[in-house]
Every structure is written in structure tokens, then in C-alpha cells.
Amino acid sequence: MTRLRRQLLRRNTRHQTNGTQKRTEPVYKDPREIQLMREAGRIVARVHMAMKESVRPGISTLELDAIALDILRRHNANSSFYGYNGFPANICASINDELVHGIPNAKRILKEGDIISIDIGSYYRGFVGDSGWTYAVGGISADAQRVMDVTEASLWAGIAQAVPGNQVRDISRAIQQHVESHHMYIVKEYTGHGVGRDMHEAPQVLNYVSGDADSSLVLRPGLVLAVEPMVQLGTDKTRTLKDNWTVISKDHSLSAHFEHTIAITNQGPEILTLL
């Protein structure tokens, strides 16, 4: 893996979709732009509905990718993942100890007891919708259910703090406190981020409290964020597989990833990646 690609993967923010220009300041959206992002988000939500219905023992991750692409195309959208820094698929499909960036493959067949994180990005009329969700494949173990439940609950805890006047770190703190209170591990190498015309914009939205400059940003209407806790059952350490994309837990413990795109409004956080 090149140093540039490693930096792009490990600092999930601040670069243009075409990779040619970095953003260092948040980009606030006007009502028209928020509406377009709402439409992009609803397309992502439709894909997730199809994923929920399609995830089952015996299906391959490549088949899931094809289903997702079909829905994107039927709604006049493209995958914001395909070709992004060379990523070769339309969705990320990460199974069990795979945290993020799993590449769909015809040979990756889901089996009873697996859990799979599916990350979906749409590009619609110049704007991005971004959401990830972890699904159970049939009956799953108590540990698998627990890591899913804790990660999802930490997402909602973070979103609840996304109100005008709070700082980015309030989102981070809520996520961290919930995860660590259940004795699980936040992966610190990968982060949430601003989103808009570009898939990764400022600010970074860490899943833990830090003294970095973005954490002190005061939330105000027009800011759109992808909040995405990434949690592992046994360690906060990861490693990247030889495909240079798939990130797994270093101890092979179970991983989960939940994400919504939200807009900061005077009425509170609006989730854009819901129907």
C-alpha cells in the first residue's frame, strides 16, 4: 500500500471525490443543497432496505453489490464508492472481523451466523448520501448481537448530541462513553466526517474525545455530517489485508459499523439517510 493511500484510508476526510483538492474548512449547505442531499440519502436508504431483505445464507457479496447498483441506477444515481481512490466495487461489504472497506467477491458467500457491515454511498445530482449498517445473517451468537447492539446504540447517542451550539466533541464523547461502558473498543484510525458535494469533507468526526482542532468546531445549521462509530469486540487494533482495502480487527474479534448522514438544523439533527 502506498503512503498516500494509507493516509487517505486512515484519515477518512478532507479530500475531493476526484482526489485532486483538499478541503480544510467545513462547507455549510443552503436549503436547496440540503434537499438534494435528502434525496441522495433516501436513495441510500432504499438500497439498505434491499440489503436487509437480501442478506441471507448462501448469497455472495458480489450479488449484493449488483443489487445495490441496480437500485442506484434506477434512481438516476451512481455509487460514490466505485473508483474512489481506486476502490473496485459499488458497496463495501465487511464480514465478521472485517471492520470496513471489504470488497464484494463472488467467492464470499454468507453463511448462517455471520454478521456483515454494508456501507453504501450514492452520488445524486452533485451530492453524496452515505450510510453503513451491520446485518445479521440468520441466527447469530450472543457476542455478535451484543457488538451490533452497542455500536448501533452509540450511533444514536452521538446523533442526539448533534444540535446547534454543541461541539463536534460532544458527538464523539457520547459515542465513546457508550461503547466503553460496555467494555468494547473504538477503532481510532477511522472516523466520521463532513459530507456534501465531496464524500469526505471537513470536519473529522472522531468516535472518541481528542484535542484535535476539528473537535472544537461549534455545530451550526447547514453543517452535514456522516456519524459512524466503528467498534470491535476484543481490541482497538486493526490491520489491512493484502488487497490494500479490507480492514480487519487485529485479534480477529467481531466488528460492527453503523452510520447515518445527518444535517444540523435549528430543530435538532435531521437524518438524511432514512425514507
Tens-place pLDDT, residues 90-134: 999 999 999 999 999 999 999 999 999 999 999 999 999 999 999
pLDDT in tens, 206-244: 999 999 999 999 999 999 999 999 999 999 999 999 999
Q: Please tell me the distance from the alpha carbon of residue 35 to that of residue 15, in angstroms, as a whole number.
A: 23
Is the pLDDT higher at 3 or at 225?
A: 225
Q: What is the pLDDT of residue 210?
A: 94
Q: What is the pLDDT of residue 5?
A: 34
Helix ranges, the chain (H): 3-10, 31-54, 61-74, 142-160, 168-181
- Residue 71's pLDDT band, with cuts at 50, 70 and 90, is very high
Q: Please tell me the distance from the alpha carbon of residue 174 to that of residue 180, in angstroms, as a whole number.
A: 10
CB proximity list for 71: less than 8 A, separation 6 or greater: 43, 46, 47, 50
Quick one: angle between helices 142-160 and 168-181, nearest 10? 160
pLDDT in tens, 132-188: 999 999 999 999 999 999 999 999 999 999 999 999 999 999 999 999 999 999 999
Q: Please tell me the distance from the alpha carbon of residue 87 to that of residue 40, in angstroms, as a whole number.
A: 20
Q: Of the ranges 8-17, 40-49, 57-66, 111-120, which one carries the lowest mean pLDDT score?
A: 8-17
Q: What is the pLDDT of residue 2?
A: 32
Q: Please tell me the distance from the alpha carbon of residue 20 to that of residue 17, in angstroms, as a whole number.
A: 8
Q: What is the pLDDT of residue 1?
A: 32
Q: Is the pLDDT of residue 6 over 90?
A: no
Q: What is the pLDDT of residue 128?
A: 98
Half-sphere exposure of 226 (CA within 13 A, CB side): 34
Domains of the chain: 3-271 (3.90.230.10)
- Residue 24's pLDDT band, with cuts at 50, 70 and 90, is confident
Q: What's the whole-number average pLDDT of the chain?
A: 93
Beta-ladder partners of 270: 263
